[in-house]
Structure 1
Amino acid sequence: MEKDVLNRLRHPNIIRLYQTFQDDNNLYFLLELLDGGELLSHLLHEGRQLGLDEDLARFYLADVASAVEYMHANQMLHRDLKPENMVVCKNTGGHLKLIDFGTAKNLADSKLNGPNFVGTPEYMPPETIDNKEPTYASDMWAFGCIVYQLLTGETPFSGGSAYLTFLRVQDGSYYLPDYLSDDAKDLISKLLQKDPKNRLGGTEANAMSAVKAHPFFKGIDFDNHIQAQQPASQFCGSELFQLVKRLAAMERARNLQDPLSFEGDVLQEQIKTLSSRDRSILMHILRRKQIVHLPGLYPRFFSSVSRGRCLYAHNHGYIGFTHDLQNQWSDNFSFMQLSGPKLGHATALTEADNRGGSAWETESAAFLEAVKVLNARQPAFVVICGDFINAKPRDEFYDAQVVAFQELLNQINPQIRLVFAAGSDEFGNKNELTKYQERFGDARFSFWYGGIKCIVVNTAILCHEKYFKEEVAAQTEWMKKELENGKLCARGTVVISGHSLRPTMLSTNTVNNNDRATSNSDIPEQLRVEYWDMIKNGQSCLMVNGNSTTDSVTSVVTKASEQDADEYKCEIVSCKAPWGGAPSAIHHTEVSQSGVVTKALSVDHSNASVSSNATTKHRSLAPEEEGQETVLAAEMVTINVNSARKE
Structure 2
Amino acid sequence: MASGREMPIFLKAQRRGYEGFNEETESNWNGPFYFIQGADPQLGLMKAWRSGDCDSGGDEWQEEVQLTGQTVQAINNLTVKPRFFVLCGDLVHGMPGTLWHEEQKRDLKEVLKCTDAEVPLVFVSGNHDIGNTPTADTILQYCESWGDDYFSFWVGGVLFLVLNSQFFHDASSCPELKQAHDQWLNAQLAAAECKKSKHVIVFQHIPLFLQDPDEENGYFNLEKSLRRDLLQRFQKAGVNAVFSGHYHQNAGGRFNDLDMVVTSAIGCQLGQDKHGVRVVAVTEEHIHHKYISLDELNDVTVDEVLSFPTEVNAPKPHLQ
Q: TM-score range by the shorter chain?
A: 0.7 to 0.9
**The one of 71, 84, 87 aligned to 1:370:** 71
Gaps of 5+ in 1: 1-301, 510-515, 558-568, 620-638
**The one of 42, 46, 63 aligned to 1:346:** 46
CA distance in 2, matches of 1:618, 1:644: 9
**Match in the other structure for 2:117:** 414
**The one of 308, 316, 320 aligned to 1:641:** 316
Structure 1 residues 316, 330: closer, same or farther in 2, change over 3 A?
A: same
* Paired letter, 2:141: K
CA distance in 1, matches of 2:208, 2:52: 34
Q: Which secondary structure does the structure 2 equivalent of 1:408 belong to?
A: helix
**Match in the other structure for 1:308:** 9
**Match in the other structure for 1:528:** 227
**The one of 167, 171, 180 aligned to 1:474:** 180
**The one of 118, 134, 139 aligned to 1:433:** 139
Shift of 1:524: 3.4
**Match in the other structure for 2:310:** 617
Q: In 2, are the aligned partners of 1:343 and 1:363 still within 8 Å (CA)?
A: yes
* Paired letter, 1:617: T
* Residues 276-302 of structure 1 deviation map (CA, whole Å, 9 limit, x = unaligned): xxxxxxxxxxxxxxxxxxxxxxxxxx8
Shift of 1:618: 8.4
Q: Does 1:590 align with 2:281?
A: yes
**Match in the other structure for 1:551:** 250
Describe how 1:264-343 pairs up with structure 2 within 5 A. Answer: 303-304=6-7, 307-309=8-10, 311-343=11-43
Shift of 1:335: 0.6
Describe how 1:387-426 pairs up with structure 2 within 5 A. Answer: 387-426=90-129
Shift of 1:534: 1.3
Identity percentage over the alignment?
A: 21
* Residues 441-489 of structure 1 deviation map (CA, whole Å, 9 limit, x = unaligned): 1101000110100000100222222123222222222112212222321
Shift of 1:407: 1.2
Structure 1 residues 466, 508: closer, same or farther in 2, change over 3 A?
A: closer
**Match in the other structure for 2:200:** 493
**Match in the other structure for 1:506:** 213
CA distance in 1, matches of 2:286, 2:77: 23
Shift of 1:556: 3.2
* Residues 129-154 of structure 1 deviation map (CA, whole Å, 9 limit, x = unaligned): xxxxxxxxxxxxxxxxxxxxxxxxxx
**The one of 122, 140, 148 aligned to 1:442:** 148
**The one of 264, 267, 291 aligned to 1:576:** 264
Q: Which secondary structure does the structure 2 equivalent of 1:550 belong to?
A: coil
Q: Does 1:519 align with 2:220?
A: yes
CA distance in 2, matches of 1:484, 1:453: 13
Shift of 1:540: 0.7
Shift of 1:570: 1.6
Q: TM-score, normalised by structure 2?
A: 0.82
CA distance in 2, matches of 1:506, 1:601: 25
Q: In 1, are the aligned partners of 2:84 and 2:120 still within 8 Å (CA)?
A: yes
Structure 1 residues 472, 533: closer, same or farther in 2, change over 3 A?
A: farther
Shift of 1:616: 4.8
CA distance in 2, matches of 1:459, 1:372: 29
Instruction: Give the aligned CA root-mean-square deviation in angstroms.
Output: 3.2
* Paired letter, 1:322: N
Describe how 1:150-299 pairs up with structure 2 within 5 A. Answer: none
Which has the higher Rg, Structure 1 or Structure 2? 1
Q: In 1, are the aligned partners of 2:208 and 2:260 still within 8 Å (CA)?
A: no
Shift of 1:410: 1.3
CA distance in 1, matches of 2:319, 2:276: 7
Q: In 2, are the aligned partners of 1:486 and 1:493 still within 8 Å (CA)?
A: yes
**Which structure is higher in RCO with an 8 Å CA cutoff and minimum separation 6?**
2
Gaps of 5+ in 2: none
